Amino acid sequence: MTDRPRDSLAALESARLDWQRDDGDLDTPHSLTFGDVYFSRQDGRAETEHVFIDGNDLPRRFREWRDPRPFVIGETGCGTGLNLLCAWACFDRHAPPEARLHLVSTEKYPLTRADLSRALAVWPELAEAAARLVAQWPEPVAGVHRLWLAPRVTLDLHFGDSAECLAALDGRVDAWFLDGFAPSKNPQMWQPALFEAMASHSRPGATFATFTCAGVVKRGLKAAGFAWRKVPGFGRKREMLAGEIATPADDDARRATPWFTPPAPRPASHVAVIGAGLAGASVAHALARRGVRVTLLDREAPGAGASGNAQGALYIKLAVAPNAHSRVYLAGLLHSRRWLEALDPEGALWQASGVLQLANDAREAERQGRFLAQYGLPETVVAGVGGAALAERGGLPAALFAAERALDYPAAGWVRPQALCQRLAATPGVSFQHGEVEAVTPQADGWRLALTDGASLDADQVVIATAQLANRFAQTASLPLQPIRGQVSQVALPPQAPAPSRVICAGGYVPPPCDGRLTFGATFAPHDQGDELRETDHAANLAELERTLPGYLEALGTAGVDLDPARMDGRAAVRAASPDKLPYAGPVPDAEAWQHDYAALAKDAKRVPATPGAHHGGLWISAAHGSRGLASAPLCAELIASRICDEPLPLPAALADQLHPGRRLIRELIRLTHR
């Protein structure tokens, strides 16, 4: 493969397997890249139980686990997923019913879904668990992919080099499965950087186990601060290694950015979420899934604001060259797709129709060409299409496509945002309450919310998710938000009218019809907070639809569709965006403290104080999702819920920092040095 920048979103090379062994065994996968087997041909599951499950003393530790946070297992080399499934089975057998398990596994050469299914078919007793893993198995794209294996079991697959993935991990581990092909077969993995990353992300008392006793492994573990001992191995391997962290590593991950140091965990038995749009409702759902009691407040109803459209597009537009924005939004798109499949497998709330992003002029066509050359993503995520394929995939006559090229996102589609918010608000453990919050005040043991009707509500922690109103509170006033009015138009669509089968977008967008209506738009009016329907905006949406698909309006009119803006239906709402067009997702910074603690940055951006960032403890925000909330809000909800519940994050640390609400404060201070 061509070398790409480290922040590239390139596809990874899938594992190359040989299933034909010398002994005739067709069920043992053998790596052609490393010349080694994925598991013991004697009894792979028994080997995993001996080396990793018993080597980390997991049955006893699971039985005794009483922490509110999950028990975290970290693994180098996911392979077939056998180790993870065995750990999950052990957890189900031994852990108390309130316990949770969080699995973190790295993999540079992920198996294809077909190979994964074939490899795990050897163990019928794991069939149900294996089916859940296979069903959610992600595309081979570098980054973090969160899977929900069971109500109590979460898996984060970190696709990429093990040492690099673990160095970027935002989270800490209780037990390590140090797996991977033998050091002699895969020397590039068993490097000091790997052991150092393990040490820096180990909790006090974290254990490890590995099948190998190679000298490079023993030396690397000891140098990183682990104490190891030889214990009996499995099968023909007389010995293996097990041990624990003896000398915790210095936490210097935040030395360059101390302001992003996360606040210390605090109780979260009851969390109040202000705002029941997609941002707030998805946070409420994420917390309730973890057993947290949630009060969801809104002055109207779930999905009443900018998330109240009957239909919305799940799509993204990535920069020509990979950057932080692209990495966040691609991760968000893939996350939302898995999340929707898990939440609504019947597809009542969404459709994976795909999205065609048209190149309606030469400049956009050239941009798309450069985009495809830069990224190298699998065609199951995005592909360049042209000619007859546009009409075939778009479901409309070829004559309507002025574009000769387009980007096709098969994993994207459309969603019913209002119905989705209502479903999320009905999650067991979430209590919806009408009310408008005018102030939040810290208390000795949490927060008090003052409502405009004179009532109050106490909670351990609070999440603010009120779109353009999110900075109306004293604690969030320093966060700049730009209101943006958007209006969509709707027309009744008779059965004989032509309709797209994919979401088609250029300057605007038009998804496939929903409930007999065609929706298209949307206008984009910064600093406009009006939510009334405007005939001029309907006219603007019609004009944009004509630019996107020349001749489509004529075809609709011929089919009897009423396209008079004066009689057209639709919906207008106000979205919110940040200055850098990324959401705010994380703890609310204490702006006054930051301006004091990091004042030196205004004189010299290289003078970084060691002071950790001060935050309003237990106060969080999810806002500024703009017009891409369907691709960002669910991932941001997981990020916030993971922070609150002291779990590993669903994004690499650097990308979580890009979403931190305090980033604007630091940028403003540094900007002063250039004035």
Q: DSSP string covering 406-472, please? A: EEEETT-EEE-HHHHHHHHHTSTTEEEEE--EEEEEEETTEEEEEETTS-EEEESEEEE--GGGTT-
pLDDT band (50, 70, 90) for residue 251: low
Q: Is the pLDDT of residue 61 over 50?
A: yes
Cβ atoms < 10 Å from Cβ of 560:
11
The size of the chain, in residues, is: 675
Nearest residue to 521 via CA among 533, 506, 535, 510: 510
Tell me the one-letter amino acid at 345: P
Kindly list the strands in the beta sheet with 383-386, ordered across the sheet, starting from the edge strand earlier in the chain: 383-386, 405-409, 355-359, 503-505, 509-510
In angstroms, the Cα distances linking 674 to 158, 479, 591 are: 38, 22, 21
As a whole number of angstroms, the distance between CA 105 and CA 157 comes to: 5
d(CA 413, CA 350): 8
Tell me what the mean pLDDT of segment 165-174 comes to.
97
Query: What is residue 139's three-state secondary structure?
Result: coil
Residue 432's Cα: distance from chain center in Å? 25
Q: Which of 495, 502, 545 is nearest to 520 (CA)?
A: 545
Residue 10 has pLDDT above 80, yes or no: no
**Backbone torsions φ then ψ of 388, nearest 5 degrees:** -65, -25
Whether the pLDDT of residue 434 is over 50: the answer is: yes
Q: What is the mean pLDDT of residues 649-662?
A: 97
Q: Hey, what are 93's tokens?
A: 């057998």
Between strands 270-274 and 461-464, the pairing is: parallel
The more confidently predicted of residues 670 and 625 is 625
CA distance 178 to 425: 41
Q: Nearest CA to 468 among 527, 402, 391, 552? A: 527
In this structure, are strands 71-76 and 173-178 parallel, antiparallel, or unpaired? parallel
The answer to whether residue 180 scores a pLDDT higher than 80 is no
Mean pLDDT, residues 28-53 taken together: 79
Q: Do β-strands 153-159 and 101-107 pair in parallel, antiparallel, or remain unpaired?
A: parallel
Give 465 or 235, the one with higher predicted confidence.
Answer: 465
In contact, 605 and 670? CB cutoff 8 Å? yes
Give the pair of three-digit tokens for residue 102: 């969080």
Out of 12-26, 122-136, 210-224, which region has the weakest mean confidence (pLDDT)?
A: 12-26
pLDDT band at 293 (very low <50, low <70, confident <90, very high): very high
Q: Provide the edge-to-edge strand list for the sheet that holds 239-245.
A: 143-150, 153-159, 101-107, 71-76, 173-178, 202-210, 239-245, 226-232
Q: Please check whether residue 167 is in contact with residue 197, taking contact to mean a CB–CB distance below 8 angstroms.
A: yes
For residue 675, pLDDT over 70 is answered with no
What pairing do the DSSP bridges indicate for beta strands 270-274 and 293-298? parallel
| Residue of 184, 211, 200, 294 whose CA lies nearest to 245 | 200
Whether residue 8 is predicted with pLDDT greater than 50 in this model: the reply is no
How many other CB atoms are there within 10 angstroms of residue 31's CB atom? 19
Q: Find the helix or strand (DSSP H, E) in which 597 lies.
A: helix 591-597
Q: Is residue 6 over pLDDT 50?
A: no
Q: What is the pLDDT of residues 77-96, one digit of tens each?
A: 999 999 999 999 999 999 99
Radius of gyration of the chain (CA): 26
Task: Provide the mean pLDDT of the chain.
Answer: 93
Residue 547, classed as helix, strand or coil, is helix
Cα separation of the two ends of the chain: 44
Give the pLDDT of residue 673.
Answer: 67
pLDDT in the model for residue 18: 79
pLDDT for position 23: 55
Q: What pLDDT shows up at residue 21?
A: 55
Cα gap 498→387, rounded to integer Å: 19
Only one residue has tokens 């011929």, namely 558
In the DSSP assignment, the letter for residue 522 is -
Cite the beta strand spans of 521-653 per DSSP E.
Answer: 525-526, 569-577, 584-589, 615-623
Q: What angle do CA 630, 636, 639 make, to 5 degrees?
A: 150
Judged by average pLDDT, the poorest of 95-104, 189-198, 244-253, 387-396 is: 244-253
Q: Is the pLDDT of residue 653 over 50?
A: yes
Give the residue from 108, 113, 116 showing the smallest Cα distance to 159: 108
Residue 273 has pLDDT above 80, yes or no: yes
Alpha-carbon span 176 to 189, nearest angstrom: 15
Give the C-alpha distances (Å, rounded to integers) separating 2 from 8, 10, 13, 38: 11, 10, 11, 27
pLDDT at 247 over 90: no
Question: Rounded to 10 degrees, what is the CA torsion of 648, 421, 511, 370?
Answer: -20
d(CA 189, CA 661): 35
Rounded to an integer, what distance in angstroms lies between the CA atom of residue 369 and that of residue 7? 19
Q: Where is 488: in which H helix or E strand?
A: strand 482-492
Mean pLDDT of 235-258: 86
pLDDT band (50, 70, 90) for residue 2: very low
Which pLDDT score is estimated for 336? 98
Least-confidence region, from 250-259, 396-405, 436-445: 250-259
Average confidence (pLDDT) over 543-557: 96
* Greatest distance between any 2 Cα atoms in the chain: 83
**DSSP for residue 138:** P
* Predicted confidence band of residue 3 (pLDDT cuts 50, 70, 90): very low
Summarize pLDDT for 335-376 with one digit per residue, the tens.
999 999 999 999 999 999 999 999 999 999 999 999 999 888
28-40: pLDDT as tens digits: 787 777 766 767 6
pLDDT above 90: percentage of residues in the chain = 84
Sheet holding 437-443, edge to edge: 437-443, 446-451, 456-459
Model confidence at 620, pLDDT cuts 50, 70, 90, reads very high
User: pLDDT band at 26, cuts 50/70/90?
Assistant: very low
Q: Is there a cis peptide before residue 522, judged by omega within 30 degrees of 0?
A: yes
